[in-house]
Amino acid sequence: MHLNNYASPNRVVKRYSGFIINGFRFRTKYRERLRRTQNCGVVVNSLITSYASARDSNPVEGNMEYYGLLTDIIELDYYGKWKVVLFRCDWADANTARGIKNDQFGFTMLNKFFTRKIQLMRVGKSKYLRDLSIVQNTTNSEEVSTEQQTVVGSSSVPENFDKSVEFQSYLGIIARNANMLPINYESWHNMPDSNKNQALSNIKERFAFEVSDTYIKKALGKKWRDHKSSLKKEYFKKPISLEEKLQNVPPGMLRYQWENAVRFWNSKKGEDRERVGTSSRQKQKFTHTAGSRSFSCVAEAAEASSGQKVGRLQLFDITHRKKDGTLMTSEAAEIMEKLKDKKAEYEATASTDSSVNFEDIDNRIINEVLGPERYGRVRFQGSGVNPTQYFGSTSHQYMPSGSQSQAEVQRLKDQIVQIQATTDEQISQLRAEAAAREAEATTRESEQNRKYNELQLQLQSMMTMFQQFQNPPS
């Protein structure tokens, strides 16, 4: 399987709308639809064999020029070994000279319909192509993209889809689009379906993978939450006043979205949600070192280098070590030691008991050391893999038992009761604060009325004294 990876290109390819090679600039027909200058024309000088007729036994070789319009630019990647750049063109009919002439300056002029389509044309160092077959691209060709690179391709499995760095990068671009996915929604679940579907349509226009829309939306939601978290950390967590935070709008962010997000983060609900997230994060005993790569991608790379299948225990070991070879944390080291001890016990048992299934040992060990799998995911398998898909008909063996499920339900009920009690307490506190403010306002109003009445009495007394002074008694 891994040898075939080098015999055929990666299914994920790069797509360009502009390209510079050998000092010549090319743009696709679509990109130049509104431009005055045109660089979408292509000419290929090919050495061909010509026959005068079907009975001609003396064919003649000669150069033939083909003229076309560039419609697409694709770069194939043979897994880092070499790259091939292909031009897709609409070609003019070169079998007749009608519609082709040279002007007084020696330039070729065409007046033809570009309706004939053939396969992709290789772009290489040589100006003249023997034929249009796909061969190894030259290593010193000048390749400059004039527009942001995008990805197209097809795959029937999520692993190839997940390992595409370009795909993950493009998800981040969409997640940071304030017009498409505003940040002023409290959570991804509150994001309107119309916005999610618009983002999904944009992604599917550039990518062709046979995976579910749910998987794409889930991955996009993760990128959107990461984007909000980075904005909050960089622009909201500064030791400045609320008014300064409202004015500290990040570049490229719409002001009204930022102000709504800041007010939510500054509210009681936003602070409570942050405390819950912080508490959950602190419960995480260890983190992996795979980075942006998926677990399936890490496993595939390890299998390619070692030539052996990588099990779940080995994958845990690989993805929880630093560059110097040490494990991430003491907790990870402790768990790794337990996993190794348990595996040694199983191997010792398997040496005397032929009924032990070697293929199932890793799953049983992980289940005993780390506990049953949770619904909707499988440890060390990444996003999008659930127990039914991974374990098949034996998935019930690795899921919580009936008593464990009841305990989990009871725990969630207790948590809901606790949250309800906390909410009721907060509501009571808010009501008390409102009553206190109302009483304070009433007292302040009474004090103002008293002072006003005193001033009125003083004014009346002064007016009486003034009248007496004006009209002294005779």
Q: Which helix (H) or strand (E) holds 62?
A: strand 60-77
Nearest to 65 by CA among 48, 86, 53, 49: 48
pLDDT at 125: 36
pLDDT at 341: 87
What is the rounded distance in angstroms from the CA atom of residue 429 to the CA atom of residue 416?
Answer: 20
Q: What is the full DSSP assignment across 80-91?
A: TS-EEEEEEEEE
Sequential pLDDT tens for the chain (474 residues): 344 444 577 777 788 888 888 777 888 888 887 777 778 888 888 887 776 666 667 777 777 788 888 888 888 887 777 888 888 888 887 666 667 777 777 777 776 545 444 334 444 433 322 222 222 223 333 333 333 333 333 333 334 434 456 777 788 888 998 888 999 998 999 999 999 999 998 888 777 666 678 888 988 999 999 999 999 999 998 888 999 999 988 887 888 999 999 999 999 888 888 888 888 777 777 778 877 677 777 887 888 888 888 888 888 888 888 888 888 888 888 888 888 888 888 778 777 776 666 667 788 888 888 877 777 777 777 666 777 777 766 656 665 555 555 666 777 777 788 888 888 888 888 888 888 888 888 888 888 888 888 888 888 888 888 777 777 665
Nearest to 31 by CA among 83, 68, 69, 76: 69
pLDDT at 364: 81
pLDDT at 420: 80
- Six-digit token string for 77: 């990647």
pLDDT at 194: 92
- Six-digit token string for 325: 């070879």
Q: What is the full DSSP assignment across 170-239?
A: HHHHHHT-TTTS-S-SSSGGGS-HHHHHHHHHHHHHH----S-HHHHHHHHHHHHHHHHHHHIIIIISSS
What is the rounded distance in angstroms from the CA atom of residue 140 to the CA atom of residue 124?
Answer: 9
The sign one gets for the Cα dihedral 94, 100, 103, 109 is: negative
SS3 284: coil
- Six-digit token string for 279: 């508490």
- What are 145's strand-pairing partners? 19
What is the rounded distance in angstroms from the CA atom of residue 393 to the CA atom of residue 380?
Answer: 20
pLDDT at 107: 73
Residues 370 and 361: beta-carbon distance below 8 Å: no
φ, ψ for residue 387 (rounded to 5)?
Answer: -60, -40
Q: What share of the chain is helix, strand, coil (3-state, %, to 5)?
A: 50, 15, 35
pLDDT at 260: 92
What is the rounded distance in angstroms from the CA atom of residue 151 to the CA atom of residue 74?
Answer: 9
- Six-digit token string for 377: 């995911």
pLDDT at 116: 41
- What are 73's strand-pairing partners? 16, 87
- Six-digit token string for 228: 């909000």
Can you give the length of the chain in residues? Answer: 474
- What are 49's strand-pairing partners? 61
pLDDT at 328: 83
pLDDT at 42: 85
Q: What is the full DSSP assignment across 140-189?
A: T---EESS--EEEE--SSHHHHHT-HHHHHHHHHHHT-TTTS-S-SSSGG
| Those residues with Cβ within 8 angstroms of residue 269's Cβ, 6 or more apart along the chain or in another chain | 186
Identity of the residue numbered 446: S
C-alpha distances in Å from residue 220, one per residue of 183, 325, 345, 355, 381: 13, 33, 43, 45, 19
| Those residues with Cβ within 8 angstroms of residue 150's Cβ, 6 or more apart along the chain or in another chain | 14, 15, 166, 170, 206
Residues 73 and 16: beta-carbon distance below 8 Å: yes
